[in-house]
Structure 1
Amino acid sequence: MPRIVLKTEIEAEIHIVFDLSRSIDLHKISTEHTNETAIAGKTSGLIELGECVTWRAKHFGIYQKLTSEITEFKKDEYFSDEMVSGAFKQFKHEHHFKNTNGKTLMTDYFDYISPFGILGRIVDKLFLKKYMTALLDKRNQTIKEFAESEKWKTVLDR
C-alpha cells in the first residue's frame, strides 16, 4: 500500500489551519485545475465528523466521482477522511496539526490501494503516487497561502 507523507509548516494559528484543511470551499479553490466540485453531501462550509462529501473531478482526462467521509476528528489536532466510493480500492487521509513555536506543523498521511491488483501497483510506481503527491502538495500550498495572509477570512466565517 503506497503511503504519501507531507509536512507543511505554516505561520498561522492552529485553529485557522485546521479549519482551512476541512473547508469544502478552499478545497474547491485548490483543485480548480481538475474542475473539482462538491456535488452531494456536504457541499460547502466546514466538514464535520460523520459527514460525507461527493466530489466530481477530471483526472487523466476522465470525469470521476469520489465520496469520502470524516471518520475521526479531534478539534485542532487531527481528522481523517476515508473513501466510501470511488476510483481507488481504498484510501485513508489523515490530517495532523501541531503547534510549534507559534507556527502550525501540518502533517498529511495518505494511504491508498489502487484497483486492478498488479496492474494498479505498476500504475502507482509509474505515475499515480507522483500525481497524488503533487495534488496533495498543491492543496497544502493553497492552505498555507490563505492561512499566512488575510485570504483565510474570505473562506472561513469568523
Structure 2
Amino acid sequence: MGFFQLRTEQQVNASLGEVWDFISSPKNLKEITPDHMGFEITNQASDNMYPGMIISYKVSPILGIKMNWVTEITHVKDMEYFVDEQRIGPYTMWHHEHHLEENKHGVMMKDIVSYQPPFGILGNLANSLFIKKQLKEIFDYREEAVNRYFGK
C-alpha cells in the first residue's frame, strides 16, 4: 500500500486574522473547491472551528459519482494551524495539515496532505494515473480562489 504526500505553499497578501477567518471557516470550503466536484456540506457546520468538529459533505471526485465524505478537525492552534482527518470517504487514510505563518508580505499558507488511496497496488496505480494530478488541480484551483478573494 502506497503512502503519498502533497505539499503546497501560497503567499497571501492579507493579515493573519483575515486569512485565518477565511481558511478555517467550513462555510468557505465550497468557494475554494472546483465546481465540477459538486461539493456540498450536509451537516450544520459551525463558523468556529474546534477540535472534534465533524464536517460531512457530498463530493464527486471521480466520474461525477456522488459520495459521502466525513472529516474531523483533530487539532487547532488558533491563528497557526488546524488538521482535518477523513473518517468516512474515498481514501484509506487522509490527513490534511493547514499552516499559516505571518511574514512581511502577509501570510504564507502551507498545506501538507498525507494520503493513502484504497485498493493497495491498484490504488498506487490510480495515484500515478490520476489521483495525484487531480489533487494538484484542486489545490491550484484553491490558490486561484484565494487570490480572487484577497486580491493578488
TM-score, length basis structure 2 = 0.90
Residue identity in the other structure for 1:59:
P
Q: Distance in 2 between matches of 1:66 and 1:78?
A: 22
Q: Secondary structure at the match of 1:107?
A: strand
5 Å-filtered alignment, 1:119-158, equals 119-148=122-151
* Aligned match for 1:34, one of 32, 37, 44: 37
Residue 116 (structure 1) aligned to one of 119, 122, 129: 119
| Residue in structure 2 matched with residue 14 of structure 1 by the alignment | 16
Question: Equivalents in 2 of 1:119, 1:137: separation in Å?
Answer: 26
In structure 2, C-alpha distance between the alignment counterparts of 1:144 and 1:78, rounded to whole Å: 20
| 4+ residue runs over 4 A deviation | none
Q: Is the 8 A contact 1:64 1:86 kept in 2?
A: yes
The alignment of Structure 1 onto Structure 2 pairs a total of residues equal to 148
Match of 2:27 in 1: 25
Q: Measured at CA, do residues 143 and 49 of structure 1 come closer, stay the same or move farther in structure 2, by a change above 3 Å?
A: farther
Residue deviations 1:101-149, cap 9 Å, x none? 0410000000100000000001001110110111122123312321338
CA RMSD of aligned residues (A): 1.6
Moved more, 71-80 or 16-25: 16-25
* 1:72 counterpart (72, 75, 87): 75
- Please give the alpha-carbon distance, in whole angstroms, between the structure 1 residues aligned to 2:98 and 2:61: 23
Q: Percent of aligned pairs with the same residue?
A: 27
What is the letter of the counterpart of residue 137 of structure 2? A
Q: Secondary structure in 1 aligned to 2:135? A: helix
User: Could you tell me whether the CA contact under 8 Å between 1:6 and 1:137 is conserved in 2?
Assistant: no
1:16 deviates by 1.1
Tell me which residue corresponds to 1:87. Answer: 90
SS of the residue corresponding to residue 96 of structure 2 reads strand
SS of alignment partner, residue 127 of structure 1: helix
CA–CA separation in structure 2 for the residues paired with 1:68 and 1:144: 25
TM-score, L = length of structure 1: 0.87
Q: For 2:131 and 2:58, how far apart are their aligned partners in 1?
A: 18
Q: Retained in 2: the 8 A contact 1:69–1:84?
A: yes
Give the AA of the match of 2:142. Answer: R
Looking at structure 2, the residues matched to 75 and 45 of structure 1 have their Cα atoms a distance apart, in angstroms, of: 13
Q: Give the CA deviation at 1:41.
A: 5.0
The answer to whether the 8 Å contact 1:11/1:104 transfers is: yes
Secondary structure of residue in 1 paired with 2:146: helix
Task: Give, in angstroms, the shift of residue 15 of structure 1.
Answer: 1.5
